[in-house]
Structure formats: structure tokens, C-alpha cells
Amino acid sequence: MTPTKPAVELFSQLAEPFTGEALFDRLTDLVFFIKNRRAEYVVVNQTLVERCGRRDKRELLGHRTDEVFPPPLGQSYRAQDERVLRSGTAILNQLELHFYPSGGRGWCLTNKLPLRDRAGRVVGLMGISKDLQAANERSEEYARVAEVVAHIQTNFGETLRVNRLAVRAGLSIYQFEQRIRAIFQLTAGQLIQKIRMENAVRQLRETDAPIAEIALASGYSDQSAFTRQFRQTIGLSPSEYRRTFRPQVESE
């Protein structure tokens, strides 16, 4: 977007470049960062520092994710950055389950946008990951779709179509989508995806079930489709996740 004349006038008067850092430092449910063309952190907010188990921003600045996050997560996060830098294509409202070096984990919606110079070349990226808040199950909004949500939670392994779910709730597709967004901050499709992924990570962590079997039980037609979605959402392949996060059983 081309800056307007008032914007150019304002930003030309600032003592230092505006990054939004001071504002994002006050948002504890959101991770914010700016990276250069080498995928190194240039700006971070305090929330990211704390979730990485660090005390000072200087411990992150100048480093890539593979130098901050443990393997194989760090390499996976860096690969995502490299795709944005290489292609110049933004990542918008992508549902992800994040794991932080401090031990915390949580669902979020991630946005990453390329930064371009005056010639249009990609020279960096900026991004935010916004935490998903737990739904208020006592609200009137939730009550209208509670039966449908329970249906998804029970039947996530089956084919679930948004239009049929809307009919089940007695709403139009638009009304159903709006209500789901208001309650979960997700589209109906993302809600189904989240429930399926939660089942998948639990099975990978707690059982010896083959990945192909977990894929079918999670509502995917084949293992390759499941693996693609799992990698996009979790940042790892199912087998990598199992090796990394499944508790080691001590021999007696």
C-alpha cells in the first residue's frame, strides 16, 4: 500500500523508525517480531522474550529461530520464514500449535507478511501470533451451537461439512460461521481442524498406533493429506512430533 501524504508527513518527523514495538510490548496474548532477509530477529516484543525463557530482548536479536528454539522445531520455524522470504507470499490467519523453549504451548493464529524495499524486493518479514482464548461455554452464543460443537468433538473422524453443520444448528451458513468466529476466533473449518489435530497429537504422544491409522481416525482420507496438514499446523511431521514429544518409557 502506498503511504498517504499525512502518513509520510508524520513518519518523516519521528526521531526513530516506527516499528510498533512499544505497543506490542503491552500485549501479553500476542507474539510480535520483525526479521531481516537472513531470518534473524530485528524487533521482538516482551511476550516472545518471556515465552522463550529469556530475560532480555538482546538474547533474541540477531538470532534465527533455529538458534532459539530446540530442534527440530527451530529448523521447522526457520523453514517457514525462508518460504515467506523466498516467495514473497504472506501467511494469513494460519492455525498453529506453538511450543516454546520455556515449556509453554498454545494454539494461535499466525500472520507473516513480507517486507519490501522501494524496488519491491523482499528484505524481511514481520509477523504476529495471536493466542486463542478458551470459549465461554456459559454464553448465549455458545448455547445456540453447543450441540453442533459436541457433534464435531464426537465425530471428528467422519466427513464434516460446514453447510450440514449449519443446518444442524438451525442457522444459515453465514450465521453459523459468524457465531463460530465470535466464540472461538476461528472459522468453522479451522475449528474442525483444531479438534482433529488435538486428537492426533494426543494419540501420537500416548499410543503406539500407526500414523496411517491415526490419520483415518482423525478424519483424513490418507496419510499424506494428514501429514501435510499436521506439518502446517504443528510445524513437524507426525513422526517427528512423536519422537520429540512422546514421553520416554523407562525400562524396569
- The per-residue pLDDT for range 129-151, each reduced to its tens digit, is 999 999 999 999 999 999 999 99
* 17-131 is a CATH 2.30.110.10 domain: no
Position 104 scores a pLDDT of: 87
Cα separation, 30 vs 50, in Å, equals 12
Residue 2 pLDDT greater than 90, yes or no = no
Lowest-pLDDT range, 2-16, 167-181, 184-198, 207-221? 2-16
Lowest-pLDDT range, 2-6, 59-63, 163-167? 2-6
Read off the pLDDT band of 3 (50, 70, 90): confident
Residue 216 pLDDT greater than 60, yes or no = yes
CATH, domain 140-245, list 1.10.260.40, 2.60.40.420, 3.40.50.300, 1.10.10.60: 1.10.10.60
3-state secondary structure the chain: CCCCHHHHHHHHCCCCCCCCHHHHCCCCCEEEEEEECCCCEEEECHHHHHHCCCCCHHHCCCCCHHHHCCCCHHHHHHHHHHHHHHHCCCEEEEEEEEECCCCCEEEEEEEEEEEECCCCCEEEEEEEEEECCCCCCCCHHHHHHHHHHHHHHHHCCCCCCHHHHHHHHCCCHHHHHHHHHHHHCCCHHHHHHHHHHHHHHHHHHHCCCCHHHHHHHCCCCCHHHHHHHHHHHHCCCHHHHHHHHCCCCCCC
Residue 248 pLDDT greater than 70, yes or no = no
> What is the percentage of the chain residues whose pLDDT exceeds 70?
98
Residue intervals of the chain classified under CATH 1.10.10.60 are: 140-245
Position 171 scores a pLDDT of: 96
| Mean pLDDT value across the chain | 95
> What is the percentage of the chain residues whose pLDDT exceeds 90?
94
pLDDT digits (tens, 9 = 90+) for 180-199: 999 999 999 999 999 999 99
Position 247 scores a pLDDT of: 74
Position 226 scores a pLDDT of: 98
Position 251 scores a pLDDT of: 38
Read off the pLDDT band of 252 (50, 70, 90): very low
Cβ(128)–Cβ(31) below 8 Å: yes
Residue intervals of the chain classified under CATH 3.30.450.20 are: 17-131
